[in-house]
Every structure is written in C-alpha cells, then in structure tokens.
Amino acid sequence: MKPESMIGRLVGAALLFFAASSGAHAEGTFDIPAGATFSQAKLAKIADFFNNEIAQGKIPGAVLLIHQHGKPIYTGLFGVRDVATKLPMSLDTIFRISSMTKPITSVAAMMLIDQGKLKLDDPVSKYIPSFAHMQVGLEKKAPDGNAALEMEPLKRPITVLDLLRHTSGITYGFYGDGLVRKAYASAKIFDGDPDNAEFAERIAVLPLQEQPGTLWDYGHSTDILARVIEVVSGKSLYEFEKAALLDPLGMVDTGFYVRDPAKRDLVAQPMPSDADFRVGYKLDPLIPRKREAGTGGMISTPHDYARFAQMILNGGSFDGKQYLSPKTFKEMTTDHVGPNSGIARDWAYFPGDGFGFGLGFGLRTDPGNAKPPPPGSLGELKWDGASGCYFVIDPKQDFFFLLMEQAPTERQRIQRTVKQLVYEALEK
C-alpha cells in the first residue's frame, strides 16, 4: 500500500473513532424496536476502528464476535495475540478474562440453588464459620485528630445473596483511600499460594467496609462465593464448574491456567507497555495456582465464552440442556439494587448510567441521564474485566457481542466505541 493511502486510511479511521466516541451518531441507538437486523456494510466500520488501534500500537489485537438468533453474524479477528511472536488472533486464542469470571462463578452458585443445596438467604457463616465474627470498620477521628477505625458488630449476617449482589461489605484493596480499603491493601492477602479456603480466612479477619445489605460495593464477594461453592459441592471450584457447566457447554479451554503445554502459544499478551492489570496481584495463565479466584482468575477463549453467552441469551439453556431453571434465571437477571431496594451504590465499578445489578450481571433498567442515552436496550446484560474483555447480551434483539482483548489501559475507551459501532449497525 502506498504511504499516502495508508495515511488516508488512518485519518479516516481516526475520524470514525472520534465520531463514535463523541456520540455524534448516538441518536437512535438506545432501545431500538425489536426485530432489528445487522447491516454488514455498517459492521465493516468495526474493522477500520480496530485496524487503526493496532496501527497506532495501542493494542496487539482483538477478537469481536456477534451472534444473533443463535447464528454468527460477525467474526472479527484483528492483529496478533502477542507482538513478540506475531501469531495471529484466532477463536482458540486464550485470554485472561479477569472479572468476566464473576458471571461464571455466579451461575455455578445458582445451579446449586436450583439443586436445593444452597439458599440465597443462607448465612455465609453456615459454610465458613469464621464469617460469623466479622465486624464493620467505621472511620472516626482519633483524639490526635487522625482518622482511625472503630469496629462495629454486624447488624445481620452476611448472606449468599449479599455475595452474589456485592452487598456483603467485603471490598477490594487496589482502589480507594478509605482506611478499610487500605487495610485490605496492606494485609498481604495474595502472598504465597493460598487455596480458596485459606484466602477466605484471610478475608474473614479484615473489617467490612459497611454493614451487609446497605451498599453495592465491588470487592472479593465472589471469591468468598467460590469457597461456599466448594464447601457445598465437596469439590474444588474448578472441579465443580468443569463437571456441571464447562464440559457440558463445550468450554474446553476455560479454567484457571493453561493445562495443556501444547496450547501455551495460544495465550494472548498485552502490549509490553500496558501489562499492568492493576488488580492487586499478577496472574500468569501458565503457572498453576492453588487459589481458583472466583472474582477474576479464569482464562477462556472466544469460542468458549461465546457458548456461555449464548446460554445466558437463551435464558439458561444450550443445545437442549437446561443449566438454570426459569425461576433462577429470572432471579439472576432482575435488578437487586434498584431505587426501592434500600441499597446505595458505591461510586467505583458500578455498571454505569442507566444500569442496575442482578446476580452476576449489570442490567440495563433505564435510559440513564446522558443526552442522548448510551446505546443498548432495556433488559440488556453486560460485564467486563480489567483485561479488556467485555460482553453485552441483548434479549430484546436476540443477540450478543463478545470482545476479547488484553488492553487494561485502553479497555474502557475501546469498549464504549465498540458498543456504539455495534448498535449503529442495527437497522430498524
């Protein structure tokens, strides 16, 4: 290609990105009437966007899948999985999915609820006794004028429901300046190689950020849920998920590290300058670990996660097998932190304007405050992770899209633009 042609393509792609990210085409992309179909000509803009990102050296590559009515509508394989090897992206490329682990853990827990082995109102202490003794850390001014923590007893037990909807009071230590979050950051909870049982005990001696059931607070709740699953099932988290969910769905490359040495070269890597996932610990998908982190420890492939997304889009079923009962699926996809719930919302990591939260998913409940509203549909489900991976499931239009990338710094900008481009390609 001639240099001037390349420059023209880059300028055009940059203008496309500016228009998409600035909302210039946003009008009419929220809550489009049911029955819309995708324009292949408009979907072609997605390749221009990603090729520009790769040409500028912002990401090594990405995979984007769109499936509607149970069939592939768009398959985009862009760039390379690793700039060092220059091996191309593929449907079997292995990605750290970070917090996109949480929906899988949540579904596994809800399957146990369907089986009658677990209840939403069960106290966590029924399965992890040390959780009966947790306390809430309240910031008070000490006599010397400095802030200090004062411990307050629990007003009610932490429940399994609290773990699923992030209202347990358990937080993270890699963001925020509060004394409780600082206590998490300094507690060295990731040191060594703890299994899920030991990790839960490390959390149990830390203060809670707030009283259970009062605030949506993103944290290690799903890690504790993972340990509850182990106690109830009598298996490790992976063993239970593999038998009940992963193998039946055909998610053969989803787990907590790469088990097959022949697949090591399939692991996607971020740009060398963008390799900090900023979650408080490093995750090497090639190294076996005892801890199977229910919040963010899994790896998966576009092929595998697309099957999980399709199962959710189908209402809990896939290829004739029912993974979640209709009642349980409705519970998972109902807003549990809405205006009438009595639950406040923390500023950090909430799904966003116009969203509530179910049990493992962000749930679109209203247009939001932006004018025009961000693209999407009422009832859509979504989640993403620190690595850049992201999915949106739209029952109204019977489609999902799945973005797989390793781009921690660039992820939010790319996710917003991709969603805009996908919804702009819908024809009413």
CA atoms within 13 A on the CB side of 119: 5
Mean pLDDT for 158-167 is 98
Interaxial angle between packed helices 101-114 and 221-233, expressed in degrees from 0 to 180 and rounded to the nearest 10: 40
Q: How many CB atoms lie within 10 A of CB 82?
A: 22
Task: Give the residue, 387 or 7, on which the prediction is more confident.
Answer: 387
Mean pLDDT for 235-242 is 98
Interaxial angle between packed helices 40-55 and 3-22, expressed in degrees from 0 to 180 and rounded to the nearest 10: 110
d(CA 147, CA 177): 12
Closest C-alpha to 149, from 214, 219, 213, 207: 207
Residue 349's pLDDT band (cuts 50, 70, 90): confident
The per-residue pLDDT for range 267-325, each reduced to its tens digit, is 999 999 988 887 777 889 999 999 999 999 999 999 999 999 999 999 999 999 999 99
Q: How far is CA 149 from CA 135, 140, 143, 179, 181, in A?
A: 11, 6, 12, 7, 11
- The full set of domains in the chain, from first to last, is 3-102+235-427 (3.40.710.10), 117-233 (1.20.58)
Q: Provide the CA 77 distance to its chain's centre, in angstroms.
A: 21
| Beta strand 344-345 pairing with 215-216 | parallel
**For a pLDDT cut of 70, what percent of the chain falls above it?**
94
The per-residue pLDDT for range 86-140, each reduced to its tens digit, is 999 999 999 999 999 999 999 999 999 999 999 999 999 999 999 999 999 999 9
Which amino acid is residue 21, in one-letter code?
A: S
The per-residue pLDDT for range 360-380, each reduced to its tens digit, is 999 999 999 999 999 999 999
Closest C-alpha to 45, from 18, 68, 71: 18
Cis amide linkage into residue 339, ω under 30° from 0:
no
Of 25-29, 32-36, 290-294, which range is least confident?
Answer: 25-29
Q: Is-contact 277 96, C-beta < 8 A?
A: yes
Average pLDDT of the chain to the nearest whole number = 92
Q: Any idea which residue has 């091996």 for tokens?
A: 87
Please check the confidence at residue 21 and state whether its pLDDT lies above 80.
Answer: no
Which amino acid is residue 7, in one-letter code?
A: I
The per-residue pLDDT for range 186-206, each reduced to its tens digit, is 999 999 999 999 999 999 999
User: 277: which residues sit within 8 A by CB, 6+ positions away?
Assistant: 96, 98, 283, 386, 387, 408
Q: How far is CA 172 from CA 23, 195, 217, 220, in A?
A: 33, 18, 9, 6
Please check the confidence at residue 40 and state whether its pLDDT lies above 70.
Answer: yes
Closest C-alpha to 360, from 109, 168, 173, 96: 109
Three-state DSSP state, 249: helix
d(CA 246, CA 252): 7
Please indicate, yes or no, whether the overall pTM of this predicted structure exceeds 0.85: yes
Task: Give the residue, 15 or 334, on which the prediction is more confident.
Answer: 334
d(CA 170, CA 210): 8
Residue 11's pLDDT band (cuts 50, 70, 90): very low
Closest C-alpha to 109, from 162, 185, 183, 180: 162
Q: Is-contact 50 74, C-beta < 8 A?
A: no
